[in-house]
């Protein structure tokens, strides 16, 4: 007959409670029960963990099983798994090429109307252009565009991409562009009077770009309306507000992206 005098089998081994394993992430506060030293994880050295207490003192401890206390409960510290590095993104939104070395410039070029246009394109797309070996050059206006193209001498391996300000139907700029008939030239543009307007007002913390009366130079009128001082000071504000493509209007984004694609097309 089975005896009911005892509960469980007194000879059986009780199950040991599993001690949790915790990644020793920097900043995790643990205690060494043997010494009473309490500190935050700083780093690993020679297979041991370095703890720093509130007085700034460092001590090394081996990563023994159940060797530490967290909130008074025993834990086993383990080295955290290395996290895969996320690819760094350039200002244009492309994946940044690390360790980029200067590349010999290709024969193809991108032309923009002025110095400010070139600086803004560099701010957003500079990394991409250096990867591709494409140089951006200011034209100082498009009045002589057809002649300049002829002097450049285009070819399938020597393409031109041209970015034009205020390229809208019926404008002087549109009439000039209509004269360009060359398969190795692509002209794109944006509708803004000046490249400044291609920067979103929100990036500059203004509600909208001021309306400048006719007959008043646009940049001077903007600076006067916003209290930005001289035009060079205004341009520093505008350029400094651009951190990435998110600060640029879509009209300019699309126009420049098409030019880059055009001048970097692989040649057979």
Tally of helices (H runs) and strands (E runs) in the chain: 6, 11
216: which DSSP letter? Answer: S
d(CA 158, CA 113): 20
pLDDT digits (tens, 9 = 90+) for 150-173: 999 999 999 999 999 999 999 999
Q: What percent of the chain has pLDDT over 70?
A: 87
Angstrom CA distances, 204 to 121, 124, 208, 248, stand at 18, 16, 9, 11
pLDDT value of position 197: 96
pTM of the model: 0.66
pLDDT score at 127:
87
Confidence of residue 98 (pLDDT cuts 50, 70, 90): low
d(CA 76, CA 66): 4
For the ranges 22-26, 91-95, 258-262, the lowest mean pLDDT is seen at 91-95
CA distance 54 to 40: 8
Give yes or no for a contact between 109 and 263, defined as CB atoms under 8 angstroms apart.
Answer: yes
Which pLDDT does position 114 carry in this prediction? 92
> Across the strands, what pairs with 140?
none
pLDDT-based confidence at 25, cuts 50/70/90? confident
């Amino acid at each position: 007959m089975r005896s009911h005098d005892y509960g469980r089998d007194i000879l059986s081994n009780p199950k040991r409670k599993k001690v949790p394993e915790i990644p020793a992430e920097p900043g995790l506060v643990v205690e060494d029960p043997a010494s009473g030293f309490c500190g935050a994880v700083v780093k690993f050295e020679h297979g041991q963990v370095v703890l720093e207490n509130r007085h700034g003192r460092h001590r090394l401890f081996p990563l023994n099983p159940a060797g530490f206390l967290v909130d008074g409960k025993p834990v086993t510290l383990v080295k955290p798994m290395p996290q895969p590095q996320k690819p760094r993104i350039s200002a244009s939104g492309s994946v940044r090429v690390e360790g980029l070395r200067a590349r010999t410039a290709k024969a193809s070029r991108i032309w923009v109307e002025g110095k400010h246009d070139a600086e803004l394109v560099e701010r957003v797309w500079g990394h991409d252009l250096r990867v591709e070996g494409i140089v951006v050059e200011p034209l100082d206006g498009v009045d002589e565009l057809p002649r300049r193209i002829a002097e450049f001498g285009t070819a399938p391996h020597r393409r031109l991409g041209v970015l034009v300000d205020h390229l809208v139907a019926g404008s002087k700029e549109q009439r000039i562009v209509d004269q360009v008939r060359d398969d190795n030239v692509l002209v794109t543009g944006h509708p803004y009077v000046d490249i400044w307007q291609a920067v979103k007002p929100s990036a500059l913390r203004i509600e909208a770009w001021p309306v400048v009366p006719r007959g008043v130079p646009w940049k001077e009128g903007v600076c006067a309306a916003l209290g930005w001082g001289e035009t060079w000071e205004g341009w520093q504000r505008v350029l400094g507000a651009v951190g990435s493509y998110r600060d640029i209007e879509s009209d300019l984004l699309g126009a420049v992206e098409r030019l880059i694609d055009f001048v970097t097309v692989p040649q057979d």
